[in-house]
Amino acid sequence: MLNSASIINVSFLRMKEELDALVEGGTSMFHIDLMDGHYVPNLCMPIKLISELSAAYPKVLMDVHIMVTNPSDYIQRLADAGTDYLSFHTDSTKFIRRIISEIRKAGMKPGIIINPSQRIDHIEPFVEYVDMVTLMTVEPGFAGQPFLEGGLERLVELAELRTKHKYDFLINVDGGVDFEKGHKCKEIGVDVIVGTLHNIFGQPEGIVEACRRFNKELG
């Protein structure tokens, strides 16, 4: 599994130092949250940061998660910034297929996101057109929340849907995954785990060793 290290958990006062530590520890993907203050009651991160990250760390994939009410407004700007994977919430637009097509046309890999209150099977009409499906195991908008009860069972349902239809999208899980749950995610067939306070940034051994532990145990 890939560690998509969540940049929202980086200390802004020590950002370069901690980003370098992520890369030193073997991180190959950065997870960048972009919030507009409308879809969720929070604001972060600037598109300019994505541009600077992609320039400074060209070998690291940029996994961008947009929590916005008008996803189409951001697609070309995020493509220009160097985004590799762009994932949006299916309830943020009435035009899911159109947004997926626009993302791919802009040269990025499209992804969709399932919120905790949404059924897994609601994605069946369009999931064959995406490269990644992210299951939120916390409510979107704020870092540091605990893994919601029932999250592992929902991951099993998502993995079974992928197998049933012989799709090849990546399964990404976002929110509250510690190392214990990470092992269970690996057994289920999860491909990407968003690195958070629970498995990377909050570990006593520090970022470098936490990343190495992730890659050794879960990679």
Residues identified as active-site: 33, 174
* Burial 41-80, CB ≥16 within 10 A → b, else e: eeebbebebbbebbeebeebbbbbbbbbeebeebbeebbe
Query: What are the backbone angles phi and psi of residue 26, rounded to the nearest 5°?
Result: 100, 15
Q: Which residues pair with 4 in a beta bridge?
A: 29, 194
Identify the three-state secondary structure at position 46.
coil
Q: Over the Cα atoms of the chain, what is R_g? A: 16
Helices 151-165 and 179-188 pack at an angle, to 10 degrees, of: 20
How many other CB atoms are there within 10 angstroms of residue 24's CB atom?
12
